[in-house]
Amino acid sequence: MIRTRFAPSPTGFLHIGGARTALFSWLFARHHGGEFRLRIEDTDRARSTDAAIDAIKDGLDWLGLDCDGEIVSQHANAPRHVEIAQHLLDTGKAFKCFLTADETEALRDDAFKAGRALRSPWRDRDASEAPENAPFTVRFRASDDDMILSDAVQGDVRWAAKDFDDLILLRSDSSPTYNLAVVVDDHDMEISHIIRGDDHLVNAGRQCQIYDALGWERPVFAHIPLIHGDDGKKLSKRHGALGVEAYRDMGYLPEGLRNYLLRLGWSHGDQEFFTDDQAQAAFGLGGLNKAPARLDFSKMAHVNAHHIEAADDERLLELASPFIEAFENRETDAELIRNRYLAAMPVLKTRASTLEEIAAQGYFLIKSRPFLIEGKPAKALNDEARDRLTRLHTLLQGLAEWTEPLLAEALKAFAETEEVGFGKIGQPLRAALTGGAQAPDLAHVMAFLGRDESLARIQDQFPPAH
């Protein structure tokens, strides 16, 4: 049974790097018909608020990464962690250490100078030698053998025994430490594959020691390189947009971000675009790259544009609604907004990288008239152009049908009758119809707006004396 997990610590959002780790783990499980579990590493009680945990769940929901089974709380498993530490004590794989903080620091300095990690003298002493009621930690008896981990991404990784200290398993207040908790939880959850950032590689070496000491089978580890910013530096606040909700708020589609994150550190030939089915069918650990991935916003927009074009019109409208509603100076009739955007959507979605751009490109559709036309578009509306608009208005009024091909033909014919280049008609007409906003070509624009609205917008620009 393939079982993966995502094990975030609550930080108040779903980090983009965490989202990618979750995506890989989810895809791997889905590819094999296995399970994808969520474990919240909530041992830091101060940070583990409901809001911080909800932020992770919301981020995963939005990305469409569904989890199997109950969500596991690491904190709730503390008694089990203590039980295993006790077992390690009982079997001599761990020992009680009575070093004070000052002693520990001095020994750590010595060890550092000698080029090795700290080993506690209490590994060879009996607890009865300690002063009565002295506080103690429980330390793991670090192995004297070198450690080799065969990582699915990094290959064979080797650590010298001298580089591992006698790791604390239980603090003096009996609370379990991170490496113990992770091993016990992953074992108990029967996790077969651990896919996570390579900032945990050294921990993996320590964790393998614990697996081995317990006689537990190690899971397969796959440590993926972290995501870097476009400047090659490790991703930080400086690069902006760390949480997935920021991408949602910028108007990315979940499938667009999923596809982008999939390709960020994983490849399958040179295929760039994946549907979910394709991603699930193709995903495997063999495609994970060893080189760090760089966040590239223009590529992200490009991938998202592809998914926007493939998305359903009604869904796009629904998702773009918050952006549309934020516009000032617009029609408020929900039905009208809906009809105009839906009419234009087949064209708008071929021109936008984000939902925000869909909204912006279609803003002219719902702008309340009459428009205040300024700048360059206003200049195009000189007296001559305004007169011409009155003649165009008459021609258009007579059209039997109001469709894009007929409108395109009518505009062409009108330019010929007027004996002017199309620009002389196009510029003022665009100003009248859109107020100068970005918009698709004019026959389309008139078709989206419909007959009455188009004619009214043209009439708004008739010469004052008309």
> Under the criterion CB under 6 A, does residue 73 sit at the interface with ligand GLU?
no
DSSP 105-163: HHHHHHHHHTTS----GGGGS-GGGSPTT---EEEE---SS-EEEEETTTEEEEE-GGG
Comparison of 179 and 259: residue with beta carbon closer to ligand GLU: 179
> Under the criterion CB under 6 A, does residue 3 sit at the interface with ligand GLU?
no
User: Total number of residues binding ligand GLU (CB under 6 A)?
Assistant: 7
Q: Residue 405, preceding bond cis, omega within 30 degrees?
A: no
Residues 74-133 that bind ligand GLU (CB under 6 A): none
Strands 72-73 and 227-228: unpaired
Q: Which of 57, 93, 162, 237 is catalytic?
A: 237
φ and ψ at 116, to 5 degrees? Answer: -140, 170
Residues 34-53 that bind ligand GLU (CB under 6 A): 41
From residue 169 to residue 208, what is the string marking binding to ligand GLU with x (rule CB under 6 A)? -------------x-------------x---x--------
Comparison of 39 and 349: residue with beta carbon closer to ligand GLU: 39
Asked if 7 contacts 182 with a C-beta cutoff of 8 angstroms, the reply is yes
Comparison of 226 and 336: residue with beta carbon closer to ligand GLU: 226
> Under the criterion CB under 6 A, does residue 7 sit at the interface with ligand GLU?
yes
Give the position of tokens 């910013």.
229
Cα distance between residue 72 and residue 40, in whole Å: 6
Nearest approach, Cβ of residue 316 and ligand GLU (Å): 34
Longest dimension (CA), the chain: 109
φ and ψ at 165, to 5 degrees? Answer: -85, 175
Residue 307: name the closest of 355, 241, 249, 243 by CA.
355
Q: Is 237 an annotated catalytic residue?
A: yes
- CB under 6 A: which stretch of 2-10, 87-95, 263-271, 430-438 binds ligand GLU? 2-10
> Under the criterion CB under 6 A, does residue 435 sit at the interface with ligand GLU?
no
Comparison of 54 and 109: residue with beta carbon closer to ligand GLU: 54
DSSP state for residue 368 in the 8-state scheme: P
Comparison of 43 and 454: residue with beta carbon closer to ligand GLU: 43
Residue 394 CA to its chain's centroid (Å): 53
Could you list the active site residues? 237
Q: Which residues of the shown chain bind ligand GLU in the complex (CB under 6 A)?
A: 7-9, 41, 182, 196, 200
